[in-house]
Amino acid sequence: MSQEVLDLIVKKVDGFLGEEVVGKKPEPPPEPEPEEEPKAEEAEADDPKAKARAARAKKAAAAKKAEEPKPPARLNFGKPLIELPSEKWSVELAELLRDDPELQFDFLSCITGVDYEEHMEVVYNFYSTVKKHYLYLKVITPREKPSVVSVDSVWKAADYMEREIYDLLGVDFPGHWNLKRILLDDGWEGHPLRKDYITDKKALGLD
């Protein structure tokens, strides 16, 4: 059932945007350099070192596989997930998610800001109390000037959630009615949840 919901969301979102954004297939990764096959384990089955080496090689291959780019629309633990660049995310698209009779994402559960060092992400978790389905929506924004349009006018729940992300991660939410720090002091410098934030241990009395 979740796959159907995902297909429906992709159809609606791409239909709204007028181009293939979330439905796009990822480009295949460049062919990896042919690697030396680890020597057949059978010959040295008794040698524990060879066994460990083989296990490591297997692990590395699995890790490589995990690094393959994921499609922007996929199932994450059985729930639909889509990715969007921040310039495609808009109040109108948010309204579509909320008001479309087949989608009806009327409940905004949670907004999470994540600093991935090369970019930033704002993840929305939606739930429909009518249709009983879910959506992870990831909005990707550059790290130098992170900015994601505010959906405070669509779901009021975003009011505090966006302020918290602004406060702790420094993501700008243009269109927010009252964007200012919420948990930290007004005069606080920096955004603690950024990965390059340096904790001043002295000021905190830890040193």
> CB-wise, 43 or 66, nearer to other proteins?
66
Angle of helix 91-99 versus helix 2-17 axis, rounded to 10: 140
Q: Which residues pair with 142 in a beta bridge?
A: 119
**Paired strand residues for 112:** 123
Q: Which stretch binds other proteins (CB under 8 A): 2-10, 17-25, 141-149, 178-186?
A: 178-186
**Contacts with other proteins, 72-111, as mask; x by CB under 8 A:** ----xx----------------------------xxxxx-
Per CB under 8 A, the list member of 37, 43, 65, 129 interacting with other proteins is 129
Could you tell me how far CA 138 lies from the centroid of its own chain? 4
Q: Which of 84, 139, 159, 173 binds other proteins (CB under 8 A)?
A: 159
Closer residue to other proteins (CB): 1 or 46: 1
In angstroms, the CA 84 to CA 49 distance is 46
Can you tell me which residue has the tokens 């429906």?
A: 8
Select the span of 3-11, 12-20, 48-56, 128-136 touching other proteins (CB under 8 A): 128-136
Q: CB count, 10 Å around CB of 126?
A: 23
Q: Is 13 exposed, middle or buried (CB count within 10 Å of its CB: 0-12, 13-18, 19+)?
A: buried
- Give the residues lining the site for other proteins (CB under 8 A): 66, 76-77, 106-110, 112-115, 123, 125, 129, 132, 136, 155-157, 159-161, 164, 168, 181-185, 192-193
